[in-house]
Amino acid sequence: MSCPLDKDSLAKLKAFIDICIQKPDIFKFPELNFFKDYIESLGGKIPEPKMSTTEEKVPTEPPEPEVENIEVESDPESVLEFETTGCIEPDIINEETQIMGDFDKEVTEEEQDQADEKRMEAMKQFSEGNFDEAVEFYGEAIKLNPSSALLYSKRGQAYLKLNKPNACIKDCSRALELNCDSAPAYKFRGRAYRLLGEWEKAARDLRQAVKIDFDEQSDEWLKEVQPIAQKIEQHNLKVERKKADKEEKQRQERLRKAKEAHAKSTTEAPPEMGDIYKLLQDPEIMAAFQDPDVAAAFQDISTNPANFIKYQNNPKIKSVLEKLSSKIGPNFPGFPGAGAFPAGFPGAANPTATNAPPSTTDDDALD
């Protein structure tokens, strides 16, 4: 027994069923009550409509992923209490009295001899506890011979005795510019840093002093500052690790949010589908596609959009296209230059079917 429906009728029926599958809200139209009653008579159930046509949700661009503020667990050791025993108030450097000399001066032998005499007098004053006088004589020696690293480091030692650590640091830093292997400069600068409570710098300089030229006083000073310096170094490493862990967690969270947003956007229908579904519920459009000639023409165009040229002068097709254009616009899928009609649109071809050559009978039927 052959099927009582012809090929065109079956194609229309299939297109209608596709619409029902993709848009079950279509059953809210009274014109389809007969089909709804038929489905329910077979034991089927029609889902309740989710929203009205005016409330149709059109997919939008996925929002930028928000990164949660990841709190790092508070640590009682996050605030380190620094040791201040033996520290003093920083001194203010007097640029006028702390003579640094002319760095570019060419020293004569006579000036060098005079500088040595001033240095000997400064050492004498230092040994007698006259540290201010020692600073003055070292300053006079520096004016005569500003290229001597030893003079700067020895004056720095005198400043240290006067509890002027910043002045000492300035002199010793100049000495190290002239001689990077000056153990006395590292030694006295390290001690000055210790008096200011800069434990890491103190330990660094004193380690270098002991390494270059070991002496008991340098080693004693190093043993004093090293435990505190190591505690600070370990604390800083711990803080850096926590900071790196926090940044990594935030990076992973951003990556996760971005992946979720991307996955969500790829599963949503393309923006134009919301307009297509509205068309499917438009009574005027549905009535137009009940015409067998119109349905056959759009099925042919859906199979191969290039076939549109065959119908551009057909009054029926032009009328339907004008209705579609007035409701959505010229970029409706299936127009020349756009993609084929989506599955489920009246007259749309099966998306799995291959393109068939244009049929000449279509022209005959529509002329």
DSSP string, 56-125: -----PPPPPPPP-PPPPP-TTSS-----TT--PPPPP-TTTS----TT----HHHHHHHHHHHHHHHHH
- Write out pLDDT tens, residues 8-17: 777 777 777 7
Q: What pLDDT score does 330 carry?
A: 53
- Terminal Cα distance for the chain, rounded: 34
**What is the domain-level CATH number for residue 145?**
1.25.40.10
Burial of 317 (0-12, 13-18, 19+ CB in 10 A): buried
304 in the same domain as 216: no
Q: What is the torsional sign of CA 120, 124, 129, 132?
A: negative
288 in the same domain as 231: no
Inform me whether the pLDDT recorded for 278 exceeds 70.
no
Q: Among 235, 265, 290, where does a domain finish?
A: 235
User: In 3-state terms, what secondary structure has residue 12?
Assistant: helix
Inform me whether the pLDDT recorded for 307 exceeds 70.
yes
> In this structure, are residues 350 and 298 in contact, taking their beta carbons and an 8 Å threshold?
no
Inform me whether the pLDDT recorded for 265 exceeds 50.
yes
The CA-atom distances, in angstroms, between 45 and each of 11, 25, 32, 277, 366 are 25, 13, 14, 21, 40
Is 19 inside a domain boundary? yes
> In sequence order, what DSSP letters do the residues of 289-304 get, joined into one string?
TTSHHHHHHHHHHHH-
Q: 354, 347, 349, 360: which is closest to 320 by C-alpha?
A: 347
- What average pLDDT score do residues 242-267 get? 86
Phi and psi of 213, rounded to 5°? Answer: -150, 95
How many structural domains compose the chain?
A: 2
Is 116 inside a domain boundary? yes
225 in the same domain as 122: yes
What single-letter amino acid sits at 162? Answer: L
Q: Which domain holds residue 21?
A: 7-29+281-366
113 in the same domain as 196: yes
Is 143 inside a domain boundary? yes
214 in the same domain as 115: yes
Is 173 inside a domain boundary? yes
Is 98 inside a domain boundary? no
The region of weakest confidence among 3-7, 169-173, 273-277, 301-305 is: 273-277
360 in the same domain as 301: yes
Q: Among 235, 267, 301, where does a domain finish?
A: 235
Is 91 inside a domain boundary? no
DSSP state of 51: S
Is 78 inside a domain boundary? no
Q: Which residue has the higher pLDDT, 26 or 151?
A: 151
361 in the same domain as 298: yes
324 in the same domain as 225: no
What is the band of 305 on the pLDDT scale with cuts at 50, 70, 90? confident
- Write out pLDDT tens, residues 311-343: 778 888 888 777 777 766 555 544 443 444 444
What is the band of 33 on the pLDDT scale with cuts at 50, 70, 90? confident
Q: Among 235, 265, 300, where does a domain finish?
A: 235
227 in the same domain as 122: yes
Q: What pTM was computed for the model?
A: 0.49
> In this structure, are residues 185 and 179 in contact, taking their beta carbons and an 8 Å threshold?
yes
What is the band of 27 on the pLDDT scale with cuts at 50, 70, 90? confident
311 in the same domain as 225: no
Q: 226, 210, 227, 228: which is closest to 218 by C-alpha?
A: 210
Report which secondary-structure segment, H or E, holds 29.
none
Is 66 inside a domain boundary? no
